[in-house]
Amino acid sequence: MSWFLLALVAPFLYATTNHIDKILLEKYFKDGGVGTLILFSALLSVLALPVILFADPTVLSVDLNNIFLLTGVAILDLAILWFYLLALKGDEPSIIVVFYQLVPVLALVLGYLILGETLTTMQLVAMGVIIFGTTIVSFEIDDKNNFKLRKKTIILMSAAALAWALESVLFKVVALEESVWRSLFWEHLVLVLAGLLIFTFVRSYRNHFLTALRNNSVAILSLNGINEGLYMTGNIVVAFAVMLAPVALILLGESFQSIFVLVIGILITIFLPKLSTESTERKHIAQKLIAILITGIGTYILLFVA
């Protein structure tokens, strides 16, 4: 179970970045926020390169076919970020991250199709429980207790979850043949190159990026630097954990991200409301807790029964 304890570090780091992303979108990037954050994320990946190169000086010795696959992994990383940020603009972090519980479900299917990993009856039951849990937060409850389907959030976060599951499976395919450090190096290198291409050819993103830097350079660079540092650390932890157990089980540990996000969101609302706020009405908290509980039951089935 050491892999599971290791895998818990990443969801806490990711939960922290979820709230930093929301703060950046609401406070600093009201105009062109999604494109600006994608640019920051891609370009700041350059910070990871010297660290990885120091950890493994042989990172350049990678098969050309695997470089192609890692390019796909990096593109999927950007797709995850794109769908996630679009969803985050219109919804609360504690709602958004519950949909990431679909990742292990999709990873099970992709692991079966691509890696030849097996699916048991109880795993299928667990998948159904997790899907049911995510449907609970698929509905918005208004002041009159009417239910409205979160169509945009569902579509965007389902796409993000699928991209994350596929990215994790492809990464493991390469990492098993090469190494974790080599795979991480090329993934981040491609992200930096993609960021440079976006900066060069997408004028609107470039303009918003430069404007944001001019107006709030210290705050933005500090927050983004911390944010990317936490996210990259989480990715490194997951990359090593995924080598110790099936992809779906490692991603399953990330289901705890929703708990961390909810707790952090409540604390920010109570103690730092000027930064960000989240609904703390009983019905909304209850809805989120029930969804987390049900997906947690699915987690338990996959870990200890399936």
Q: What would the pLDDT profile of 146-178 be if each residue is shown by its tens digit? A: 888 999 999 999 999 999 888 888 888 898 888
Position 100 scores a pLDDT of 84
Q: Which two tokens stand for residue 164?
A: 């994350």
Do 139 and 147 form a contact (C-beta atoms < 8 A)? yes
Q: How far is CA 76 from the centre of its chain?
A: 11
Shortest CA distance to 17 belongs to which of 205, 287, 223, 237? Answer: 223
Q: Work out the percent of the chain whose per-residue pLDDT is above 70.
A: 93
Position 306 scores a pLDDT of 62
Position 279 scores a pLDDT of 85
Output DSSP code: residue 60.
Answer: T
Position 54 scores a pLDDT of 92
Cα 243 to Cα 106, 250, 252, 304, distances in angstroms = 18, 9, 14, 20
Query: Which ranges of the chain have pLDDT less than 50?
Result: none
* pTM recorded for the entire structure: 0.85
Position 18 scores a pLDDT of 94
Report domain extents, the chain.
2-305
Position 290 scores a pLDDT of 94
